[in-house]
Amino acid sequence: MPSKSQSVLLGAAVYTVAALITGFIAINGGTAGGYLASALCCVSALLGPFVAVWHYTSTNRLTIPAGTGAGMGAAAIALGGIVSYGITLLLQAINVYPSDTELMDRQREQLITQGLEPEQIEQAMQMGEMFQGVGGALLNLVIAALIGAVAGAIAASVFKKGAAVDELDAV
């Protein structure tokens, strides 16, 4: 079976760029940007795995099983997530992106503006803190990899080309 590395790297690059654009919109777009970023987040999580599987099946003119697509999708998102997290940390270090503390302060202000009760605000803030820092990045990475696996399995059934890998192994 041909190497999947190049296809996974391409899928990871697509996911990284899409995730950084989504993050930028979420940070700078206000309430409307938050809604748009939520939609784009879903598109990003599908786009990386789909590109990885599409590239692999098209380049090698073969059909892959859903499990192979799932592995490629999870790998593309995991790698892309690590790279985008690193770039985000770099952008925070040079003050292009706001720090995690600044983001939490913005979230609190937005919740107050929406008129939520203090108890509701505290619950929302605690939930937001779960997704901050290295622990939050790892949690996000696991969730994204699971979504990537599902997207990769779906992509494997969408992008069928030539003979199935199982048929090639039998020859």
Q: What is the pLDDT of residues 65-86, one digit of tens each?
A: 999 999 999 999 999 989 988 9
> Comparing 1-10, 87-96, 160-169, which segment has the lowest mean pLDDT?
160-169
Tell me the mean pLDDT in the region 138-150: 90
Nearest 10 degrees: Cα torsion 147, 87, 19, 136: 50
Beta strands in 4-158 (DSSP E): none
Residue 46: CB atoms within 10 Å: 21
What tokens does 51 get?
Answer: 């590109």
Highest-scoring range by mean pLDDT, 60-64, 97-101, 128-132: 60-64
Contact call for residues 32 and 132 (beta carbons, < 8 A): no
Residue-wise DSSP of 97-110: SPPHHHHHHHHHHH
For residue 49, name the pLDDT band (cuts at 50, 70, 90). Answer: very high
Residue 164 DSSP label: B
For residue 33, name the pLDDT band (cuts at 50, 70, 90). Answer: low
Residue 170 pLDDT greater than 50, yes or no: no
For residue 158, name the pLDDT band (cuts at 50, 70, 90). Answer: very high
Greater pLDDT, 103 or 154: 154
Q: Compute the mean pLDDT over every residue in the chain, rounded to the nearest whole number.
A: 84
Q: Structural domain tally of the chain?
A: 1
Residue 70 domain boundaries: 5-170
pTM: 0.79
Coil vs helix vs strand at 131: coil
